[in-house]
Chains A and B, each alone.
Chain A
Amino acid sequence: MAAIPALLPSTAFRDELRRRGGESAARCYQCATCSSVCELAPAARPFPRKQMLLAQWGMADQLAADPAVWLCHQCNDCTVRCPRDARPGDVLGAVRSLAIEKLAFPGFLGRLVGAARLTWPLLLALPVLFWVALLGLAGRLTPPAGLEAGWAYDALVPHSFIYGVFFPVAGWVILASWVAGRRFWTALGASGPRSGSFLANLMPALVEVATHKRFGSCGAARPRKLGHLTLLWGFVGAAVTSGLLIVGMYIQHLPMPLALDHPYKILGNVSAGLLIVGAAILVGNRLGDRKAAGASSAFDTFFLSVVVLVIATGMVVELARLAHAPAFALSSYILHLGFVMSLFLTFPYSKFAHMLYRTLAMVHARMAGLEKK
């Protein structure tokens, strides 16, 4: 028999939930309309009705270990139909951000990003200042004199600097994600037995992510699927491009900068395009029907803003080079590098992390036989 020491959700938990836009959980009277209209809920372990109850009872640990929280794509069919306007979509969103913070390694970074409502200037400024400082020390805060047209950014910020900074950053991000991911995976394991191998189930899960099959069945927020999918592929494209560029530079010894019609270049620009479109759709969607879109907490907004900033500065950077404006190019390049770094560093702690947790939850769902029949 589970013993709940406190009578009620600890006030702390309630405040956390409220801060993240999940206070409406209190309005729920457990009619389960939400579960019955949810296209993603598995018959054996439906959601989000049960999660609303856990939220009311303040069972933070159960929620942090609950795959359902991540199987939810916040399409908000539930929120639209809820007879009590208890907004299950928002509540689960809030629970997710809470979980990201709870699982974060190290914890203080989780809390830092979790409090993006207050800390966002810091989170954006620090990386930028880092680059300013670094280049300052290297005496590279002004573009070298006598650049002719056709210069590449290597001339402003040598690749060594980029690799020097971003490889360690990436390493760190991978480490932090690994630790957090492990914690989550173990917690999931405690929530129910699993069978089959991780890898065997990872593949189909990834395919699902890549195709957004689940998202497709959502009703109320169809437009978001498109935006979300586009953004995803934008990121993938950007990552692939970066990889190809390294290959291009050091194996193929291609002349930099690449001509606009070079396939790598095209891929890069297409990815950028996807990112722009995706971000635009998501932003537009948030500004639209609030009920169907769900509430926007600072947590969501921060992540989306960083993405937008990265894309925006990226565009400016490219245009500045084409416009042969080295000084302007350098300053915007510094911003760009700063924002990219911010995006990387906050990955395990920002909403970005749902990429990790949702994928793991999907793998777990397959292994635990929680697949929707």
Chain B
Amino acid sequence: MSAAPQQHPLLVVGAGISGITAALEAAEAGRKVVLVEREPYVGGRITRTHHYFPKMCPPSCGLEINTRRLERNANVRVCVNAEVTAARRTDTGWSVTLRHQPAYVNQRCTACGACTPVCPAEVPDPFNLGLGKVKAIRLAHGNAWPRRFTLDRAACPAGCRACVDACTYQAIDLDAQAQEETLEVGAVVVTTGWSPYPLDKLPELLGGMDQDVIANVHMERLASPGGPTAGKILRPSDGTAPRRVAFVQCAGSRDVNHLPYCSAVCCLASLKQAVYVKEQLPDAEVTIYYIDRRAPGRNEDVLTRVAAMEGVRLVKGKVGKIARTNGVLKLKVEDVERGVLSEAEADLVVLATGMVSNLKLQAPPFGVLLDEDGFGLPGHDLGLSVAGVARRPEDVAASVRDATGAAARAIAATGRRG
């Protein structure tokens, strides 16, 4: 193989935990890497996660190490607010076009926070999945890295320059323009991750129709100290603590009418969230309605632990219908083991919605082979690999494993070392 590709950096598309990992593992082996992320910060979905199963530890802990690795490693170039708009296979790898969104807030930002209080515009908080409001200019979230504020330009009132005037460091430029850049890269790793299956596709479960019927991703925000309730688990409708919490498994997954595959993490996510609830509200009654309890490997310990908890019930039976009758949420479900139908009441219902590959929603222009659900398939081309949930539904540890392997493939693709 020619040594030429050696000089080309590797390109990693998507800076969730998989992308960060792929980029760092290659960079720490001495390769130059460009890491592209469309959000203004790295970390992707895990930044919105309160705890990981099975350890019940905060993702920010590992992200702390990873961001430190990123900022101390000269081999990695991180491009946030950027997307790949075009890509072409070359004999030395790929020729790609990057689009950098306008840098309304630039590198000079010190994250001093002078701009936010003076900003007149409020928007629903995208980081908290619309739970709560934030200013148009803000730090995307408490651990946002790169530590730079972000501006939702579309929300700016006409002619408003309040933030510009408040910033002493000329860090804000309301007239910034998008910029295009062409890069020659040796190999590409696609780690575009996932999006939650939309609640409103589950009307029979009141998905998107009742404030107190939330998705598992919302529960992560409610439990998180950086969330809309500062970590208190409260019903969105009236802000009271729920006494009865019901988890509905396979809300959309393993269902030929929705997602035919198993999303692989929802069982453990709900078991984990049952722990959130019981630790905060010891008297709360938690019921988990499942088809199969899927806790592979040593994650079985989580199932064992939660199943033994006082006030937690695991019931085999899929909830078919949820209705609000005279103010109370009623779940219609058959307890399969006892063979009886019940109309269980709940104050808060968590739908364990599954994962949809972002490649299905918007695939970057590399011609990744997709299966019919939009998960990326491994081709024979080492110069293009897919890792993390873009590849298959899997948990964080597995995503990191695959991403590390993908880094090795990218290195192999860019030719043998001297």
Contacts and interface: CB of A to CB of B under 8 A. Distances in A.
Contacts of B317: 31-32, 36
Contacts of A201: none
Query: How big is chain A's contact interface, by range?
Result: 20 to 34
A35 interface: yes
Nearest to A35: B334
Interface string A152-191: 0000000000000000000000000000000000000000
A81 B254 contact: no
A145 to B, nearest CB: 68
Contact of B339 (A29, A37, A45, A83): A45
B291 interface: yes
A37 B256 contact: no
Given A36-B332, A46-B334, A49-B334, A83 B340 contact: no
A35 B257 CA distance: 17
Nearest to B249: A31
A13 to B, nearest CB: 22
Interface residues of B, number: 23
A43 interface: yes
A43 to B, nearest CB: 4
A83 B341 contact: no
Given A31-B317, A32-B334, A36-B318, A81 B257 contact: yes
B345 to A, nearest CB: 15
Interface in A76-109: 81-85
B341 A35 contact: yes
B283 interface: no
Contacts of A81: 204, 257, 320
Nearest to B333: A36
A37 B323 CA distance: 12
A83 B318 contact: yes
A34 B319 CA distance: 10
B342 interface: yes
A151 to B, nearest CB: 61
A84 B318 CA distance: 12
A122 B111 CA distance: 88
Nearest to B336: A32
Interface string B304-334: 0000000000001111110000000000111
Nearest to B252: A83
A37 B257 contact: no
| Interface-centre pick from B258, B316, B318 (highest chain A CB count, 10 A) | B318
B320 to A, nearest CB: 3
| Interface-centre pick from A50, A81, A83 (highest chain B CB count, 10 A) | A83
Contacts of B340: 43-44, 46
A272 B257 CA distance: 41
Interface in B246-303: 250, 254-258, 291-292
| Interface-centre pick from A31, A35, A45, A83 (highest chain B CB count, 10 A) | A31
B196 to A, nearest CB: 18
B256 A36 contact: no
Interface string A13-47: 00000000000000001111111110001111110
Given A31-B291, A49-B336, A36 B250 contact: no
A29 B256 CA distance: 13
Contacts of A30: 291, 316, 336
A83 B333 contact: no
A31 B336 CA distance: 8
B342 A43 contact: yes
Contacts of B255: 83-84
A37 B321 contact: yes
Contacts of B257: 81, 83
Nearest to B255: A83
Contacts of B258: 83
A82 B256 CA distance: 8
Nearest to A37: B320
Given A46-B340, A46-B341, A83-B318, A32 B256 contact: no
Contacts of B291: 29-31
A30 B250 CA distance: 13
A83 B254 contact: yes
Contacts of B318: 31-33, 36, 83
Contacts of A50: 339
Contacts of B292: 29
A49 B317 CA distance: 10
B316 to A, nearest CB: 8
A31 B317 CA distance: 5
A85 B340 CA distance: 23
Contacts of B342: 43
A36 B339 contact: no
| Interface-centre pick from B204, B333, B341 (highest chain A CB count, 10 A) | B341
16 contacts: A29-B291, A33-B318, A36-B318, A36-B319, A36-B321, A36-B334, A37-B204, A43-B342, A49-B336, A81-B204, A81-B257, A83-B256, A83-B258, A83-B318, A84-B256, A85-B256
Given A31-B250, A46-B339, 15 more contacts: A29-B291, A30-B291, A32-B316, A32-B333, A33-B320, A35-B320, A36-B321, A37-B320, A37-B321, A43-B340, A46-B334, A46-B341, A49-B336, A81-B320, A83-B318
Across the A-B interface, the 8 shortest Cβ-Cβ residue pairs: A36-B320, A83-B255, A31-B318, A32-B334, A35-B334, A37-B320, A46-B341, A43-B341
